[in-house]
Structure 1
Amino acid sequence: MDRIFKTEIEQGRRFEFGKNWKRFLTFLNEERIIEAENSLKDKLGLTDLEGKTFLDIGSGSGLFSLAARRLGGRVHSLDYDPDSIACTEELKHRYCDRDSQWTIERGSVLDTDYLAALGQFDIVYSWGVLHHTGQMWKALENVVPLVANGGRLFISIYNDGGRSSKMWRQVKVAYNQSSPPLRGLIVGLALMRLWGPTTVRDLLTGQPFKTWRSYSQHRGMSPLPDVVDWVGGYPFEVAKPEEIFEFYRQREFTLQYLKTCAGGHGCNEYVFQKQ
């Protein structure tokens, strides 16, 4: 696994998500953790996770594994990126050191033998991950057996924006195949494209950087690491909401919650319940 991962990075075929998440941890505070907890409660329609098992596929920074554990869930975190695993372990060390109800492993959602050994969970969570595997539809299929009967699947998948998605895919390829200085330039240009109009609007309404400062209310995230994640995030696949809905309907899941990005370039969020 290490050899394959390193080769993909060297060849510009994979973004090092974990290194970006390490930067995010410098921004993490209690307010952001509470926002992550609220996001889980709101989207899942629950007040806590007491007595429930929670699988975090692609744990990244570890923030939502931490949120799930603080809500009372028994958590299993997995990620393919070794630096993401290190981030998740760091959060466990900070907040839940030696907690036997939170386990962390390096693994791949494309490894069916590994997944089969995990068993089933009340909640399977994978936000913004499965479209970065290089085999999105296989990953979407592989999570199905992990959800217990009556359990919930909470995923987010990049919206298919047509030409816009194709353009951003080219940006991501260019970023991952570029030298560090050029990567900085690409991020700078993307920052102006993604945040310029909003920043100007805030200035004109007499509330400079209001949206930037309040960004933590979006799942506890931070804007700059999110921009880097968006620009560099590769492999990259997209899907229309109706495609995801139909895929899981055929596998006897019912849609409980849907939030679209209104045709934009972000993620559509889905919560399905397994019948």
Structure 2
Amino acid sequence: MSAQHAAEIHTGSRFSFGENWSRFLELLDDRRICQAERSLCDMLKVENLNGKRFIDVGSGSGLFSLAARRLGATVHSFDYDPKSVACTRELKNRYFPSDPHWQINEGSVLDDKFISELGNFDVVYSWGVLHHTGNMLKALNNTSSLVSEDGKLFIAIYNNQGRASKIWLQIKKAYNQLPSGFRWLVLWPAMIRLWGPTTIRDLVLRRPFHTWRHYSEESLRGMSPWRDVVDWVGGLPFETATPEQIFYFYSEKGFALKEMKTCAGGHGCNEFVFQRM
């Protein structure tokens, strides 16, 4: 699997999310961890996860696996990207060394055999991951199979902006196909597009770069603004869905929508919490 992942990055068809996350770990602190804990509790409508089985599908940095473990859950984390797996293991070694209640594996949500061997979980969590698999519909389906009876599914999926999403897909392809030394040719114009209006607004309000300087305080994943820009511009594979598409997909599988937060039609993620009925 590692060889396949490396080949996809070499050909420019996949972004190295794990490399981006490894740099994020340098910025991780208790404030960001507590913020992650609060976001889990707020969306799941719980005070803790004591006695719950929690699986992090595409664990990335491992931040939300750590948050779930600190909230009392027994945690299983996995990711397709070997560097993301390494990030998650690093966090476990920092905060829960030798803990038998936190397992970490390398695996793909598209691997039917791997998924079938994991079992069922009270909370299945996958934030901003399934649209990066290359086969989002299968990833959505396989993820749902992990939810136990009465269990909850917490996912976040990129919003479909129509023509704008198609343009971003071309930008992402251009970024990944360029040699690393030339990727700034795509990255800097994209950053100006993403941050230009906000920066101008802050200047007009006489608070220069206020949003940029305080971005990580509001970011759900605790990312720095620069890391988030790189993650967005580079993020391949890339698929999107409207809120309605996600709602109908899971309602037909016997799930009830419990919570939803949309990105108000923007290019970010819509968040959903479903419960298996």
Structure 1 and Structure 2 fold alike (TM over 0.5) = yes
1:245-270 deviation digits (Å, cap 9, x = unpaired): 00000000000111111111111111
Whichever residue aligns with residue 206 of structure 2, its letter is G
- 2:92 maps to 1:92: yes
Identical residues among aligned pairs (%): 60
Q: 1:229 aligns with which of 221, 228, 231?
A: 231
Alignment correspondent of 1:263 = 265
**Paired residues, number:** 275
* Rounded Cα–Cα distance in structure 2 between residues aligned with 1:212 and 1:271: 29
Q: Shift of residue 211 of structure 1? A: 1.5
Q: Shift of residue 204 of structure 1? A: 1.6
Residue aligned with 2:183, SS: helix
TM-score (norm 1): 0.98
Alignment correspondent of 2:158 = 158
* Rounded Cα–Cα distance in structure 2 between residues aligned with 1:154 and 1:209: 33
Alignment correspondent of 2:253 = 251
* Rounded Cα–Cα distance in structure 1 between residues aligned with 2:146 and 2:268: 26
- 2:198 maps to 1:218: no
- 2:186 maps to 1:191: no
Q: Moved runs in structure 1, 4+ residues, more than 3 A?
A: none
1:100-111 alignment to 2 at 5 Å?
Answer: 100-111=100-111
On the 8 A contact 2:158/2:267 being kept in 1, the answer is yes
* Rounded Cα–Cα distance in structure 2 between residues aligned with 1:38 and 1:199: 28
* Rounded Cα–Cα distance in structure 2 between residues aligned with 1:270 and 1:221: 21
* Rounded Cα–Cα distance in structure 1 between residues aligned with 2:142 and 2:249: 12
On the 8 A contact 2:54/2:125 being kept in 1, the answer is yes
- 2:21 maps to 1:21: yes
Q: Shift of residue 188 of structure 1? A: 1.5
Residue aligned with 2:145, SS: helix
Alignment correspondent of 2:74 = 74
1:173-212 deviation digits (Å, cap 9, x = unpaired): 0011001122123221111111111112112212222212
Is there any run of 5+ residues in structure 1 with no aligned partner, and where?
A: none
Q: Which range moves more in the overlay, 180-189 or 245-254? A: 180-189
Whichever residue aligns with residue 161 of structure 2, its letter is G
Is there any run of 5+ residues in structure 2 with no aligned partner, and where?
A: none
Whichever residue aligns with residue 132 of structure 2, its letter is H
Whichever residue aligns with residue 195 of structure 1, its letter is W
The alignment's C-alpha RMSD in Å is 0.9
* Rounded Cα–Cα distance in structure 2 between residues aligned with 1:38 and 1:154: 14
- 2:165 maps to 1:201: no
Q: Shift of residue 218 of structure 1? A: 2.0
